[in-house]
Chain A
Amino acid sequence: MLGLMPAKLFPGVDRIVATFVRLIATGVLPVHALSTLARLAAGFALGAVAGVIVGLLMGRSRWAEDVLLPLVSVGNPIPGLAYAPLFVIWFGLGNVPAVLIVGFAAAFPVAVNTWTGVRAVKAIWIRSAVAMGARERQLFRKVVLPGALPAVMTGLRLGLARAWRVLVAVEMLTAVPLGLGWLIFGAREFLATDVMLAGIAVIGLVGIGLEKLVFEPLERATVVRWGMLAR
C-alpha cells in the first residue's frame, strides 16, 4: 500500500474484497467451491466408512487388532499428499485420484479414534448388558456403538479436517476441471494475487463452516443429547 512492495504481489484489502465480491457475483467462486465440496463429500464418505469398519474390527477382535494396528500406525504419519503423484500414475488425472486420496487420508484418524472408542467402552456396561440377557448383536448396537460414538465423532472431525487440507493441495496436483485449489494454482500463472487471496479466504470460511454447521449440530443431536458429552 505504501509502495514498498509491488501491488501486483501484495494487493490492498480493497482489491481483494472487490475481487471477492466480483467472483461471487459472477458465480465463479461458488462453482469452484461446490465442486470442491462434492469431491470432499465423496472422498470423506469413502474414508469414514472404511475407517469406522477398520476401527470397529480392531476394537472388537484381538486378532484384527494385532494385524491391522501396525499397518495403521505406519500409514497414519505419512502425509496423504505424498501419495498424490503415485495415485496420479495409477488412476490418471482428474477426480478419481483426488477423491481416493481424500478418502485414504481421512480413513486413518477415523480408524484410530474408533478403535480407541470401542476399547474405552466401560466393561461394566457390557457386563450389565450381558447380565440382563443381551445377545451379541444387541450388545453391539445398544452398548458398544453408542458408547464409542463420542470418540468416533472426534475421529470423523479429525478426518474431515485432514481431508479438507489434503483436498485443497491435491486439486493443485491432479488437474481437476474445477475446484478451489485449482483456482488458486491457476491464478498464479496470471499473477492474479487478488484472486488467489479471495480463494484462500473462501477455503478458510468453508473450513470454519464445516466445523460449525456440520459437526456441532451432529454432536448436539447425538452424543450431547444422550448425555455422553457435556457441552
Chain B
Amino acid sequence: MRLPRARAVVGAMIAFGVSALAWEVFARSGSLPPAITPPLEAIAAALGRMIADGTMFVHVGYTLARIGAGLALATLVGVPLGMLMGRFKPVERFVLPLVSVLSPIPSLAWVPLFILWFGLGNTASVALVLYAALFPLVLNTWTGVCGVNRLWIRAAESMGAGSGAIFRHVVLPGALPFVIAGLRQAFARGWIAVVGGEMIAATRWGLGWVIFDSKEFLNTDVMLGSLAVIGLLGLGVERLVFAALERRTVERWGLMRSARA
C-alpha cells in the first residue's frame, strides 16, 4: 500500500505549490493590507535576514536548550519513577493517583503561576517543559515495565539471573519501546509547552518569544518565518532524532518491527 516515491514527491510539490500560489494571490490582491498578509518573498526575505545576522540561530538555540534541559530533567525523574511504579506496588499506589490528577491539566495553565514562582526567564520555561514532559514518560515507562513478558523474567530466573541482572538485561530492554514512545510524546508536548511558555514567560530570546514580540511591531513576515521554522524543527526532530533512536535500539534488538517495513 506504499505510494511510489515519485508520486508522493509530485503530490507534495503540487500541494505546496498550490497553497503558496493561493497565498500569493490573496496577499497581493490588496483585500488586506500587506502588513497583515505579507507575500512569500517578504517572508523569505525576513527569514533570510534573520539567518544572515545570526539571530535566528540564537532563537533556535535558546528554544532547543530550554526544551533539551526540560526533557533531560523529565527523563531523569520520570523514567526511574515509572520503573519503580512498575516494580513496586506501594510506589504505584502512591504515585498513580497523583499522576492521573495532574496529567490532564494543560501545562500552559501553569504559566502564570510559574512566572510568580520562578520569575520571568529560563527557569519558568524549563519547568514548564518538565511538567509537560513528565507525565507521558512516567505513564509509558510504567506501562512498559508492567507489560514485560512474564515468561522472559521466569526464563531468566531459571537460568540463574539475579534481580540486578534481570532488571538490566530483561526488564530494561523489554520496556524500552514504551520508554521511547513516551519520549516521543514528551517531546511533542514539550514542544508546545516551550513555544507557549516563551510567549508569556521568556524575556529576550526563543522562537515563541520572537513571534510574540513581532506582534507588537506588526512584523507578520518575521512571525510567519518563525512559524515555519517551528514546524520544520518539530518535524525534523521527530523524523531524524526519534526515528534514528528507534532504529539504533529497539528495532536493532528485534523488539519492534519497523513501521516502514
Contact = CB atoms under 8 A, between A and B. Distances in A.
Contacts of A169: 106, 108-109, 111, 196
B227 A67 contact: no
A125 interface: no
Contacts of A211: 104
B130 to A, nearest CB: 16
B200 to A, nearest CB: 7
Interface string A165-202: 10011001100000011001101100101001101100
Interface stretch (B76-84, B171-179, B218-226): B218-226
A60 B12 CA distance: 18
Nearest to B226: A82
A86 interface: yes
B151 interface: no
B208 interface: yes
B68 to A, nearest CB: 17
Interface residues of chain A: helix, strand, loop or mixed (majority): helix
B18 to A, nearest CB: 7
A204 to B, nearest CB: 4
A82 B212 CA distance: 9
Interface residues of B, number: 55
B105 interface: yes
Interface residues of A, number: 49
A68 interface: yes
Contacts of A193: 113, 116
A207 interface: yes
Contacts of A156: none
Contacts of B246: none
Contacts of A83: 227
Interface string B7-39: 110111011101100000000000010001100
B199 interface: yes
Interface in B166-193: 188, 191-192
A39 B115 CA distance: 26
A169 B18 CA distance: 32
B159 interface: no
Contacts of B117: 9-10
Interface in B92-132: 101-102, 104-113, 115-117
Given A172-B112, A172-B200, 14 more contacts: A67-B18, A70-B16, A81-B199, A82-B226, A85-B199, A85-B214, A86-B220, A89-B215, A89-B223, A169-B109, A181-B109, A203-B105, A204-B104, A204-B105
13 contacts: A66-B3, A66-B8, A66-B15, A69-B12, A74-B235, A75-B231, A79-B196, A82-B227, A86-B215, A86-B223, A89-B215, A165-B107, A207-B104
Interface of B: 1, 3, 7-8, 10-12, 14-16, 18-19, 32, 36-37, 101-102, 104-113, 115-117, 188, 191-192, 195-196, 199-200, 207-208, 211-212, 214-215, 218, 220, 223-224, 226-227, 230-232, 234-235, 238
